[in-house]
């Protein structure tokens, strides 16, 4: 599987190292209380740092709700197609597909299983193979525990 980044005229392949400019908005998204409220698959998603491709916004900029942090990371991604299906939007379907692929694991257990397969990130693609959600998995134990408490 691959993703194609038009801005950089670069194809990214599953399992092949790549260095990307990324942006993280520091903002805790409220977690749903029950599966019926889980529109985006937050209850099944892998634990990691969700980031955007490129250096968006002004580094360190804050508006009281979120702070923009720029970073450049070397990653070995697992690339997954994110396509709406079976009444699920694309944001939720790829998380369900990944969980199913790893025997129903979710959260930190899912992250650990994906990392044991040698991946340090997940990149989703749309129907045109453009990158969508990016999740950094190769974080310290303390970072992952902090995310788990959110």
Per-residue pLDDT of the chain (150 residues; tens, 9 = 90+): 778 777 767 788 888 888 888 777 666 667 777 777 777 788 888 988 888 787 666 655 665 555 566 677 788 899 998 888 888 788 888 999 999 999 999 999 999 999 999 999 999 988 888 888 889 987 655 555 555 554
Angle at CA of residue 18, ends 21 and 85, nearest 5°:
85
User: Quick check: 123 and 12 in contact, CB under 8 A?
Assistant: yes
Supply the pTM of this predicted model. Answer: 0.80
Sign, CA torsion 24/108/105/28: negative
State the Cα–Cα distance between residues 63 and 65, nearest whole angstrom. 6
């Amino acid at each position: 599987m691959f993703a194609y980044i038009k801005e950089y005229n670069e194809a990214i392949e599953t399992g092949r190292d790549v260095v990307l400019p990324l942006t993280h908005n520091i903002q805790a998204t409220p977690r749903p209380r029950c599966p019926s409220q889980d529109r985006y698959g937050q209850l099944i998603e892998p634990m990691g740092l969700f980031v955007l491709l490129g250096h968006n916004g002004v580094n360190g900029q804050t508006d009281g709700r979120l702070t923009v942090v720029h970073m450049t990371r070397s990653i070995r991604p697992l690339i997954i197609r994110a396509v709406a299906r079976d009444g699920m939007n694309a944001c939720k379907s790829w998380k369900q597909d990944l969980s199913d692929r790893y025997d129903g694991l979710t959260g930190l257990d899912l992250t650990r299983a994906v990392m044991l397969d040698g991946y340090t990130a997940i990149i989703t693609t749309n129907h045109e193979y453009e990158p969508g959600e990016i999740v950094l998995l190769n974080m310290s134990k303390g970072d992952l525990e902090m995310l788990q408490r959110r």
